[in-house]
Amino acid sequence: MPKRKKTLPGVTRRQLLTFSAASLAIGGTAKAATLTGTPGWQPFAHNPTATYENTGWQFFTDSEVATLEAMVERLLPADEFSVSGKDAGCVVFIDRQMKSFYGNFDRLYMQGPFLVGTPEQGDQSPLVPTQRYRLGLASLEKYCQQTHQKAFNQLTTDQQDQILTGLDKGDITLADIDAQLFMTQVLNNTMEGFFADPMYGGNRDMASWKMIGFPGARYDYRDMIEQHNQDLHLTPVSIRGSEQWNTKG
C-alpha cells in the first residue's frame, strides 16, 4: 500500500499544492518561495469525528452487547484504582469503531492470497473486525451453551475467567473463528477503549487517565517541562476540550 505524504502542521493539502504551484511559477527567476503568516487551520477540519443520529448501539445487538460487556468486565475488573472496562465504556468504544473505517479495514490492503504467516508477520486473517466480532460472539455463545447450558454473561466469574484463559491460550476451539484471533481482537480493542480519548466513546469520565495521572491532550507543557517527578495536579482534558464526549449505548 503506497504511503501517503505528510503535510506540514497547520498546512492543508490544498494550501500545500497552492504553495508548490507558486514555487514552480517563479522557478525561472527565484530558487525558493517564502511563506508569510500562519495558514488557517481548524481542528478536525479534514478528519471530523463521527456523529450518530441516535445514542443507541451502532453495530452490536443487545445479546452481543451482553456477552461483550461480560468479557470486558473480566478483562478489566473494577478495583480500588479504577472502574471496570464495562463501566469505563469500552464496549461503547468498540461499537463505534465497528461503524468507522476501522470496522471493515477500509484503509488496509485486504486482497489475497491469505496464507499462514509467522508471528513476526502479524495478522494474516482475511476477516475484518466486524466479521470477527459477529462470528466470534456467536461462536462463544454456542460453546457456552454446549458446555454449560448457559450464556456467557450468566456464568460465574470463575467460569468466565476459565473460558477467557482457554481462548487466549488456544485451548478452546470455536466453531466459526480461530479462538486466539477473536480473543486478541477483543483484548486489544478493550485496552484501546480504556485508554483512548473519551471523544471516541470509551474512557468514561477519563477514568484511566485519572488513574495513571495522564493530564490529557493539553496544548502546551513548556511551563512544566522542568518539573520532574512532580504531581502537576492537572485535570485531564480531552482532545475536544474538557467536555464529556462519550455516552452510553
Q: Which residues contact 137 (CB under 8 A, 6 or more apart)?
A: 64, 67, 68
Split the chain (249 residues) into runs of 10 and give each run's mean pLDDT. 47 51 50 58 60 81 98 96 96 96 90 84 91 98 97 98 97 96 97 95 94 85 84 85 49
- Spatial contact of 144 and 151, defined as CB atoms under 8 Å apart: yes
Q: How many CB atoms lie within 10 A of CB 69?
A: 19
Three-state secondary-structure class, residue 216: strand
pLDDT number for residue 49: 64
Q: Is residue 215 part of a domain?
A: no
Q: Is residue 134 part of a domain?
A: yes
Q: Which residues contact 243 (CB under 8 A, 6 or more apart)?
A: none
Q: Is residue 236 part of a domain?
A: no
Q: Is residue 102 part of a domain?
A: yes
Q: Is residue 47 part of a domain?
A: no
DSSP letters, 75-97, are HS---SS---TTTTTHHHHHHHH
What pTM does this model have?
0.76
pLDDT number for residue 113: 85
Q: Is residue 19 part of a domain?
A: no
pLDDT number for residue 231: 82
What is the number of structural domains in the chain?
Answer: 1
Q: Is residue 119 part of a domain?
A: yes
Q: Is residue 125 part of a domain?
A: yes
Q: Which domain holds residue 157?
A: 62-210
